[in-house]
Homo-oligomer: A and B are copies of this chain.
Amino acid sequence: MHTRPGMTGLAGAPEVVIERLPHYLRTLTQLNNSGVEIISSQHLGAELQVTSAQIRKDLSYFGRFGKQGRGYNVRHLLDRIRHILGLQTTRNIGVVGAGRLGRAIIGYPGFAPEGFKVTCVFDSNPRLIGQMAGGLMIHDMSNMKEILSREKVQIVILAVPPDNAQDVIDQVVRSSIKVILNYAPIAAHVPSDVHVRNVDPVLALQSMAYHLSIDS
């Protein structure tokens, strides 16, 4: 359910910090597009609704990117964060599940500009196998491992019904995939070296429903 707790010692940054970096990246990109060249942690924090101290502390896990008395060069900081996150390279994605949701994901135009490219699609339904989805042929799941490795896929997006989702996850894990974006409404069980993030709008709505019943 969780990401593992942050290993503070001398190792890497806590996972919460890693999760904030993409937010910083996004806002810095907007600032850069608006022609802003220098920004202080104070102002960046105001945009992100985060304290300036948190931004400075977060960045300090990775180096010293600012100039005292001045602030951060937006372009430079953008580059550094992109490198920290390993976003220089384009990453290939395999989508498992070519139903309604899977096809929406394959057709989603937001991935490519960020360097994520869906390069193969799988489904277990014989009626779908061999058909096209978003310009890609839908593969049988039986030779998933070979295809993922041939296509140099490092990330799998899971968009299958909940019933067999864990089985599919097991197969994805057996295919040596270490990063999974899970749209299936289950608590995925994976080994500790596999990273999963979940996308589930229903859970988000349910937790906010709480505030509809108590506030007011």
Contacts and interface: CB of A to CB of B under 8 A. Distances in A.
A164 interface: no
Nearest to A87: B209
Contact of A50 (B2, B22, B93, B213): B2
A202 B1 contact: no
A204 interface: yes
Interface of A: 1-2, 12, 18-23, 25-27, 30, 47-50, 84-87, 91, 93, 100-101, 104-105, 107-111, 114, 116, 154-155, 157, 162, 178-179, 181, 185-187, 189, 193, 195, 197, 199, 201-216
B1 A203 contact: no
Report copies per complex.
2
B49 A205 contact: no
Given A111-B202, A206-B85, A207-B21, A215 B1 contact: no
A134 B180 CA distance: 30
A75 to B, nearest CB: 18
A197 B208 contact: yes
Nearest to A179: B208
A31 to B, nearest CB: 12
A26 B203 contact: yes
Contacts of A50: 1-2
A25 B206 contact: yes
A185 B29 CA distance: 12
Contacts of A186: 26, 30
Nearest to A82: B206
B197 A204 contact: yes
Given A208-B155, A210-B85, A211-B178, A203 B49 contact: no
